Amino acid sequence: MKAAPASAATPTGKEAGGVTRRRPTPLSELVSRQMSAMPSRDTGTEMALRRKLHSRGLRYRTHLKTLPGKPDIAFTRVRIAVFVDGCFWHRCPDHGTAPKNNGKWWADKLEANVARDRRNDDELERLGWITVHVWEHEDPSIAAEAINELWRTRLRGTTRSGLTNDVGRT
Ligand SMILES: [Zn+2]
Asked if the structure places residue 46 within a domain, the reply is yes
Asked if the structure places residue 91 within a domain, the reply is yes
Q: How many CA atoms lie within 13 A of 126 on its CB side?
A: 8
pLDDT class for 158, splitting at 50, 70, 90? confident
Q: Is the pLDDT of residue 51 over 70?
A: yes
Q: Which of 27-36, 40-49, 88-97 has the lowest mean pLDDT?
A: 27-36
Asked if the structure places residue 5 within a domain, the reply is no
Asked if the structure places residue 3 within a domain, the reply is no
- Residue range 132-155: average pLDDT? 97
Asked if the structure places residue 107 within a domain, the reply is yes
Asked if the structure places residue 71 within a domain, the reply is yes
Q: How far is the CA of 97 from the centre of ligand 1 (A)?
A: 10
Q: How far is the CA of 39 from the centre of ligand 1 (A)?
A: 13
Q: How far is the CA of 45 from the centre of ligand 1 (A)?
A: 12
Q: How far is the CA of 106 from the centre of ligand 1 (A)?
A: 18
What's the structural domain count of the chain? 1
Which CATH number covers residue 133?
3.40.960.10
Asked if the structure places residue 112 within a domain, the reply is yes
Work out whether strand 130-135 and strand 80-85 pair parallel, antiparallel, or are unpaired: parallel
- Residue range 109-136: average pLDDT? 97
Q: How far is the CA of 21 from the centre of ligand 1 (A)?
A: 42
Please give all residues whose CB falls under 5 A of ion ligand 1, grouped by chain where several chains appear. Answer: 87, 92, 94-95, 135, 137
C-alpha distances out from residue 125 to 67, 118, 162, 168, Å: 11, 11, 19, 11
pLDDT class for 98, splitting at 50, 70, 90? confident
User: Residue 38: phi, psi to the nearest 5?
Assistant: -65, -40
pLDDT of 166: 44
SS3 content of the chain, % helix, strand, coil (to 5): 45, 10, 40
Share of the chain above pLDDT 90, in %: 64
Order of strands across the sheet that contains 130-135: 61-62, 73-75, 80-85, 130-135
User: Which range of residues forms the domain containing residue 82?
Assistant: 40-158
Asked if the structure places residue 168 within a domain, the reply is no
Q: How far is the CA of 89 from the centre of ligand 1 (A)?
A: 10
Q: Is the pLDDT of residue 133 over 60?
A: yes
Query: How many angstroms separate the CA atoms of 80 and 128, rounded?
Result: 9
Q: Which parts of the chain fold into alpha helices (H)?
A: 6-9, 27-37, 41-55, 103-126, 140-161
Q: Which of 12-16, 54-58, 85-89, 150-154 has the lowest mean pLDDT?
A: 12-16
pTM flag (> 0.85): no
